[in-house]
Homo-oligomer: A and B are copies of this chain.
């Protein structure tokens, strides 16, 4: 099966499952549910969710028990996009080719929708309807990993570095690496780990999966920068050139496009090498690295 098709299969399993995790509130609370659905459903590559499912599949045949956990990571990702797009952050009006959440629903509802999706990730992971499929200690470890990735050691820390560096030329290479590792890398690493944890992987497999995801995540962010610097707005579904316009430090701006492209290839190779330490069929995971490196959006 082609990698694109497998990624689409994972994405469509998630797309089917996600609406079932959304809250069913009466009006007027339903408005925040609508905003959550607007930002969570019908879009995105579902890379994080797919990683959880693909690693889980190394150990188990039936994907169903892992879906709520893959979905929870997509919720955390969607929350981060809503809050990033707010006027006080990146002030982006367009996301995945449609108006950002705060453009569609107003700032206050968008703020709550982000808060709601972050919280819903934890509600979904702990829901007995999902959690009872695993030992409590396993679920707790999954929740722990997700919280770590979302927190100050992860995404929030990365956002803060981003924010602090905006408009300043003083970002060092080490700080840029740390920003990428936290802002994008942490949740991608957590996605791989969740699949391993739920699947019952060995410590050695967990470590190899984490290495793979770390390289993949870094490459993913550099490709994002390349697309922002030279991508096609119509294909990308969001404005290009916003990093330069905001004076943001990026890998492309620090090293140039050629070096950035070479770094992606190097990281891609390292990701593949990490996979070799795993026992199962890792062809999808290897192909995913190629696919994400070559993506145009």
- CB of A39, distance to nearest CB on chain B (Å): 14
Q: Which of B109, B119, B139 contacts A151 (CB 8 A)?
A: B119
> Does A123 touch B at the CB level, under 8 Å?
yes
Structural contact, A108 and B32, CB atoms closer than 8 A: no
Q: Which of B25, B108, B144 contacts A152 (CB 8 A)?
A: B25
Neighbouring B residues of A159 by C-beta, 8 Å: 32, 112
Structural contact, B89 and A119, CB atoms closer than 8 A: no
> Does A222 touch B at the CB level, under 8 Å?
no
Copies per assembly: 2
Neighbouring B residues of A131 by C-beta, 8 Å: 140
* Count of chain A residues near B, Cβ 8 A: 54
Given A29-B160, A152-B25, A111 contacting B137 (CB threshold 8 A): no
Q: Dominant SS at the A interface?
A: helix
Provide 10 A-B residue pairs closer than 8 Å at the C-beta atoms, listed in order of the A residue.
A23-B151, A28-B175, A29-B161, A29-B182, A32-B156, A32-B157, A33-B152, A112-B159, A116-B151, A139-B140
Measured CB to CB, the residues of A under 8 A from B are 23, 25, 28-29, 31-33, 36, 83, 86, 88-89, 106-109, 111-112, 114-116, 118-120, 122-123, 126-128, 131, 135-137, 139-140, 143-144, 146-148, 150-153, 156-157, 159-161, 163-165, 175, 182
Q: Which of B23, B152, B160 contacts A120 (CB 8 A)?
A: B152
